[in-house]
Structure formats: C-alpha cells, structure tokens
A and B are shown apart, each in its own frame.
Chain A
Amino acid sequence: MTQTDSKQLMLGNQALARGLVENGCRMATAYPGTPSSEILTSVAAWKKQEALDDMHVQWGINEKVSFEIAYAGSIAGLRCAVAMKQVGLNVASDPFMSAAYLGVKGGFLIISADDPGPHSSQTEQDSRLYAMSAKVPVLDPDSPEQARKMAKLGFELSEAFEIPVMIRPTTRVCHARQDVSLLPITAREKSAEFEKNPGRWAATPKFRYILHNQLEEKLKKIAAWEDTAPVCLNPSVQSDKAVVVAGVSAAHARDIIKELDLWDTVRLYQVFQPFPLHTAFVEQILSDHSDILVLEETTGVIEMQLARRDRVQGKKSGAVPETGELLPEIMEGIIAGFLSVEPKSAIMESKPGRRPTLCAGCPHRASFFAIKRAAPKGIYTSDIGCYTLGMNLGAVDTVLCMGAAISQAAGFAHAYTDDKRPPIVATMGDSTFFHSGVPALIDAVVQKAPFLLVILDNRTTAMTGNQPTPATGRGIMGEETVSVDIEKLVTGCGIDYCITADPMDYPNFLDHMKAAVAHARENGPAVLISRSPCVLSLSKETRKAQFQKVVVNDNCDGCGYCVSHFECPALVMDENAELVHIDTTLCTGCGVCVNVCPKKSIEIKISEV
C-alpha cells in the first residue's frame, strides 16, 4: 500500500468510515445515534463512489440486530463493523458479551461513540467499561486521523487474536473535522465461508467455561501486543512525575503542556488501548515515576488498572472530576496543579444557552397539543427522539430510554387502581417503535393495560439526521426495499383499536384523539398513529404547495396563550406592542396555530387571485 498525497478535510466519523473501507470491511451496519450517525452514511457514500459492490451496508432496526448481522459476517470470515452510540451498546450488550467468548474469524469492530458532557445522550457512560466487562480490547482515538488508522489496527488486532475489538471515539473526535490523508481502498477478494463448529458457535455452558479461559489467555497476550502499546510523546525527558492521557484528552494535553512550557519537564504518555492496559507499561511507569496523573474520559479505566492508589492521581483520587467533559481549561488547571505551576487561563462559569424546540411546522407539535386537549391532567410517557422536546409543551412527563414509553405507560396503568387512574398517553416515534416498542406493546396487550399509545409517524428518524425507518421503503443507498406497514404491525401485536390520522388536519385529528383516549380508558391499550412527514424531509415543491398564509388579526390582545402552550418559533410575542406576530422567515404555513388561539385571532389569509 502506498501513501498518496490525497488529503481531505474530514469529519471524525467520515475518517473512521474511510478507515473501514480502506481496510476491506465487507459488511457495515448501524443504528443511528448522535454522535455516531455519520459513520454509516459515510461508508455508504464511499461504497457508491468506489463502486464497492460486494459490500453490504445497512441500517439495522436496532443496535442488537445490527450487531448480530455484522457479527455473523465476521464468523463467516469477512471483515465487518457495527456502529452505534454508547447507549446503543446497552441494547447490543447481550450479543456483545457473548461474542467476546466465541470470538471472531474476519476482523470485527464495534464502534461505540461516547458522549461525555453529555451533549445529546441520556448518560455519560464510558463504553470502555463495557469493553472491560466483556473482556474485549478497546482503542481510544484522539483525532479523526487516528480514528482512521485505528480501523486498520483494530481489524489486525481482531484477526490476530480472533476477538471482537471496540473502537471508542467521543463526540469531540466524531464531530471534529481535520485534514485526513486518504489511502487507496484495498479490495479483499475473500468470500464468505462459514465453517461449522457447534462446539464454538453454539457453545453450551460447559464449553463457555473453556472459552472464558481462552479469552483470559488472549487478553494476556493482547496486553503485550506491540502494535497497540502506549508511547511516550517526549522520550528525551526524565521526570519523577508523569502524565498519562488517552482519547481527545491526549490532543488537549499536547497543546496544554506546550502552552505551559512543560514539554521538556514532564513525561507525557499516550495510551491507545485503554483495556487491557499493557502489562509492561504498567510495570515501567510505576517503576520510573513516583507520581502519575491520568487524564481520560469519562471513567478512570486506565487509572483503575494502574493499581497504586498512593501514586496515581485521577478520578478516584479526586484530582480529576468524575463527571462531564475534560475541557481544555479544566485540564490546564489539573495539570498545572499536579506540576505546581500557575495555570495561564482562568476558568469562567458558563451561562446556559438556548433551549432547543420543535421546528416551525413540526407535526409533533400538533399531536402534543391535541394530547393535552384530549387527556388533560394525564400522565404522558415519552421516548427518545425530537419529540422529547414535547417536554417544553408540558406533554412529556417521562423519558427513560429507547422504547420505555410503552412499558412505562403500562407500568403507570398497573400502578393506579381503576377508580384513581388518570388518562395515560404514551408518545413514541416510528423509528423508536420499530427499535424497541414492539415487545412492550405485545406485553401491554396481554396485560390489558389501559393507555393510549400515539405513534408519532413522521416517516423518518428525524433526530439523528433523517435516516430511513423500516416503513420508509428505502435503504441507506437510496435503493428501493420493503416498507413495513405500521398498522399491520400494531394489529399483529394484538391491538384491536388502531386509528391513523393526520395531525395537520387538526380538528379532525383532535376528534380521533378524544375517541382513542376514551376507548383506551375503558378497554385496554389503543393506538393512534399520527402520520405526517417531518418538515425537514419535505421537498420545496410540497412545502410551497402546502403553504397557507397565516396572519394575526385585531382580536389578538397579547394574552400569550399561543406562545406558551403551542411554542411555535414562528409565533413571536412582541413585548412593546403587546401582540403576537408571525415571523415569516420561519413560518411554514401549516396553519395548525389557527386552532390554538382561544380568541380566534390567528387566521388563514385567502390570497386574492
């Protein structure tokens, strides 16, 4: 393979994807989730550009299914990868734990993108802890370029030890854009060949014990594998103290230590494989240095493997915060304190920014408004997606994890006695319903749980960038595929009462909502499919065709009901005039707000011909 001059300014996720295709990845799967979503779309883009016809690229219905599809490709001998966000790994954790025992044939990479902060996640969990728990090696890239290189390294490590390998980028790597050098794409001629071996691929508990022992042996060897060993970034320095870094903290530490003029004063080590930490490195660093500071995100995974509490400073010792991102200014203070120098910058408290809101013209807003009308004083369980923002409208009371809206609604229904039970309405997006709503709905049917499920069917996975759902009828390459009928799926789960209605046709929709809420209270679970496409996926022509000119008439007395209960960004309270006006640059002309004003002061203006 030769180095080419070709460089491109590339997102970390694109760079990772590039690493996959450069190194003969033959199957790539994913379920979208910030900050990982662009990995698979980039793989698909290169598949198209480079005409990699043998490569299978697909969105899976959820992370577990995605994992298992790619894993099967690997045990058939192909290089394969699955990508997800960190909470997605919770969903895929069952096959992940087991695959560690069984091992792989073709190189197999699990890319689990962490989100310290968190910026757009339920938790700040550290996927490297999962790797530790599963006993799988994990690589921690510090930049897009290193992420690209780690795809190669990961495949090699995986094949050398027949073990799954995790790559764990964080948001700041996934969403950083840097110059990345492109290498040619190497075609791998290998075709799938599954060698039967039930003792391994279908191992019973007795054999699992043997596999567990073999896994421990593999880990010992991986902890001595030179290609992933930590390096000292300034080896000419001799110092009692040492700083150990990994991931994006390594990128920050290089800048900070130079900025503080300490590059020639303290040894800086970068760890590429936080688990298993190289045995020789542990011995060397503990014998050469009296005090060691470890900077890593988000949990002290390296720190806990340097088992000398008296000499190692990090999260457990209290030197480094256990929560949140290690921002450069925080790291500067910690490093300066460790080396007894003055930090050069002062930390300022951040002020909260803007809260996000549903887009103008979003059909979810109409659905939520109807829910509040039809089931006032209800309990509103909801889920993960744009519609979590229904919280601002007072129409979302709970958000736990993917798919929980249905089971939590059932749980509330069972918790209250018949005479005290308020109306219970669950909201869940179409993609989330496919992802993990179906088993919960079947359970609710069996248990006759009295609640209404509103499936917010906007025909897409909007939150993560409008990826297709199983109902879209298109795959990641834009190819035509099968569209799964949500109504049939719902009735197949055993639901008798399933109505589909368009929330943008608001008065009619509200009638359906009221009827469905009433039915559910008396008869057990009911489903209302609220179907209207995401405004972001509408074509210019459709948007133009649907546009209705909305105006505020003289009835408006500035009571503020519309802005606080409907919260459309296009409806703006003009404080000076004490009236509401419409921001025409934002208004999509959906006309739903006409139904909102109690004084009928918002109306559709029929244009003169």
Chain B
Amino acid sequence: MKQTTLSMDPYNLIITGVGGQGNVLASRLIGNMLSEQGYYITIGESFGAAQRGGAVESHIRVSAQRTYSPQIPKGKAHMVVALEPTEAIRILRDYGNPGVKVLSNMRPVYSMGVICGEQSYPSTEKIKECITASSKASWFVNSTDEALKLGNPIFGNIILIGALAGTNALPLDHKSFEKALLQRMKPDKIDVNLKAFDIGKEMTSA
C-alpha cells in the first residue's frame, strides 16, 4: 500500500448532477485513479429511475486504512463536485458542514418544475452567493461551455475531474487519469479526454 496522506481519512467526496451528465463515469474514473494508488475505495451510486432527468449522486469514500460503507453520513462531505449548480446546493443542505469545499459547473439543467414555470431558477450570482456562504472554499467553472468548444457537452464531466485534480483535494494527476482511461476507453477517445482533463486542471490550479 502506497501511503500518501489524505487531508481527511476517510475522505468523503460527493459527485452530483442530473441523469445523462456522466456522473457515474466520472465517479468510476476517480475511483480507479485512487484505487490504482492503493487506496481503499467505496462508491455508492444512485441510479435507476433517476436516470431520466432526475438527480444522480455518487458518494466516493477514500481511505488509506480500510473499506468504508457506501453512504456518506449526512453533514459529513469534505468535497462536493457538482455537474449542475443547484444540485450542489441541494447536496450542501444535507451533507454540508463548515469545512466542506465545493467545485461546481455553472451551466444549469432546468428541472421540469422550472421548465413548466412552476418554480423559478436562481440567478448565477445567487447560486454563487449561496455556495460561498455555506462552504469553506469554492470553485465555479464553466465546464459545459468548455466541453462545447471540444465539440460535445458530454466532456463536461471529464473537465470537472481535471478541475478537481487542480484543487489538490485528492492525489489525482494527468498520469493516473491516462491510466484509468486506458482501462475503459477506445484508443481514439483517449486524446480528447486527456485534453479535457488538462483544460479542467488549468481552471482551478492556483
């Protein structure tokens, strides 16, 4: 077991988003990157009916000591990565605490309530204000916009993995990402994904 120190052990990471945004793939790639380094990984995934436009959340628990249960207890997240900004707020309400950090994509995915005009969607300023007030540190990125520049909004999740690496919250780097990609992607898809990772990393690197 390679012992790299984690800032917290277990480190509790939540990835949240809306069905179809690539949440499950993102959590799997992060899990593989850390598992490869010898950490014990447990990921709890929620999917099923939620796939069709519902909220999808993955709980990733990383430890150098032992295997943890697949659910992060309420109020105990260390980092929330949101593919959709209001999902970050929803997660913070349940799993937030004064020490939590947040990395959020700012591109909204409107819920059916908003689409139908039953609810209103908060402004970007309001979302940022709310996240900043309820976290210790926060990063706001436009990963969907950057992904569109690469030709497909689906790269948004990969850009966020890069951005997470850039925050140095967890030992994630270009090399381990490449290794994780090689395990599950066709060779012709590797380069564009690596590029997406690097774009993301650049966004949050100090």
Interfacial chain A residues near B27, Cβ < 8 Å: 177
Q: When the two chains form their complex, are residues B48 and A176 in contact, meaning their CB atoms are under 8 A apart? A: no
Q: When the two chains form their complex, are residues A251 and B116 in contact, meaning their CB atoms are under 8 A apart? A: no
CB 8 Å contact bits of B52-84 with A (1 = contact, 0 = none)? 111100000000000111111111100000000
Total count of chain B residues near the partner, CB < 8 A: 49
**A175-B44, A254-B69, A332-B73 known; A573-B116 Cβ under 8 A:** yes
- In the bound complex, what is the Cα–Cα distance between A439 and B23 (angstroms)? 40
B90 CB–A CB distance under 8 Å: yes
Q: When the two chains form their complex, are residues B71 and A252 in contact, meaning their CB atoms are under 8 A apart? A: yes
Of all chain B residues, which has the CB nearest A254? B69
CB 8 Å contact bits of B116-141 with A (1 = contact, 0 = none)? 11001000000000000000000000
Choice from A254, A356, A572 contacting B50 with Cβ under 8 Å: A356
A14 CB, nearest partner CB in chain B, Å: 12
CB 8 Å contact bits of B75-104 with A (1 = contact, 0 = none)? 110000000000000100110000000000
Total count of chain A residues near the partner, CB < 8 A: 55
Interfacial chain A residues near B40, Cβ < 8 Å: 179
A328 CB, nearest partner CB in chain B, Å: 4
Q: When the two chains form their complex, are residues A172 and B70 in contact, meaning their CB atoms are under 8 A apart? A: yes
Q: When the two chains form their complex, are residues B45 and A329 in contact, meaning their CB atoms are under 8 A apart? A: no
Give residues in A with beta carbon < 8 Å to B.
Answer: 7, 9, 11, 34-35, 119-120, 143, 145, 171-173, 175-179, 248, 251-252, 254-256, 327-329, 332, 345-348, 350-351, 353-359, 386, 389, 392, 463, 560, 563-564, 567, 569, 571-573, 575, 583, 585
Interfacial chain A residues near B148, Cβ < 8 Å: 585
B10-66 at interface with A (beta carbon < 8 Å): 18-20, 27-28, 31-32, 35, 40-55
Of all chain B residues, which has the CB nearest A564? B116
B112 CB–A CB distance under 8 Å: yes
Query: Which are the 9 A-B pairs with shortest beta-carbon distances?
Result: A120-B48, A176-B70, A356-B54, A251-B69, A177-B43, A34-B48, A328-B73, A353-B55, A120-B49
B115 CB–A CB distance under 8 Å: yes
Choice from A9, A355, A463, A564 contacting B111 with Cβ under 8 Å: A355
- In the bound complex, what is the Cα–Cα distance between A252 and B74 (angstroms)? 13
Q: When the two chains form their complex, are residues B70 and A329 in contact, meaning their CB atoms are under 8 A apart? A: no
**A176-B45, A351-B93, A563-B117 known; A345-B74 Cβ under 8 A:** yes
B113 CB–A CB distance under 8 Å: yes
Q: When the two chains form their complex, are residues B46 and A9 in contact, meaning their CB atoms are under 8 A apart? A: no
Give residues in B with beta carbon < 8 Å to A.
Answer: 18-20, 27-28, 31-32, 35, 40-55, 67-76, 90, 93-94, 110-117, 120, 144, 148, 153
A404 CB, nearest partner CB in chain B, Å: 18
Q: When the two chains form their complex, are residues B55 and A359 in contact, meaning their CB atoms are under 8 A apart? A: no
- In the bound complex, what is the Cα–Cα distance between A332 and B76 (angstroms)? 13
**A143-B67, A177-B43, A178-B42 known; A356-B19 Cβ under 8 A:** yes
Q: When the two chains form their complex, are residues B53 and A563 in contact, meaning their CB atoms are under 8 A apart? A: no
B28, B116, B144: residue with the most chain A Cβ atoms closer than 10 Å: B116
- In the bound complex, what is the Cα–Cα distance between A345 and B71 (angstroms)? 14
**A329-B73, A354-B54 known; A175-B46 Cβ under 8 A:** yes
A-B contact pairs, 6 of them (CB 8 A): A173-B70, A175-B47, A177-B43, A178-B41, A327-B71, A354-B111
Of all chain A residues, which has the CB nearest B144? A585
A589 CB, nearest partner CB in chain B, Å: 16
A179, A256, A346, A358: residue with the most chain B Cβ atoms closer than 10 Å: A179
- In the bound complex, what is the Cα–Cα distance between A571 and B75 (angstroms)? 36
Interfacial chain A residues near B72, Cβ < 8 Å: 328
B107 CB, nearest partner CB in chain A, Å: 9
Interfacial chain B residues near A251, Cβ < 8 Å: 68-70
A403 CB, nearest partner CB in chain B, Å: 19
Interfacial chain B residues near A171, Cβ < 8 Å: 48
- In the bound complex, what is the Cα–Cα distance between A11 and B112 (angstroms)? 30
Q: When the two chains form their complex, are residues B94 and A177 in contact, meaning their CB atoms are under 8 A apart? A: no
- In the bound complex, what is the Cα–Cα distance between A350 and B28 (angstroms)? 26
- In the bound complex, what is the Cα–Cα distance between A173 and B43 (angstroms)? 10
**A34-B48, A177-B43, A179-B35 known; A356-B53 Cβ under 8 A:** yes
Q: When the two chains form their complex, are residues A353 and B90 in contact, meaning their CB atoms are under 8 A apart? A: yes
A170 CB, nearest partner CB in chain B, Å: 10
**A389-B52, A563-B115, A563-B117 known; A179-B93 Cβ under 8 A:** no
Q: When the two chains form their complex, are residues B46 and A569 in contact, meaning their CB atoms are under 8 A apart? A: no
A11, A143, A178, A563: residue with the most chain B Cβ atoms closer than 10 Å: A178
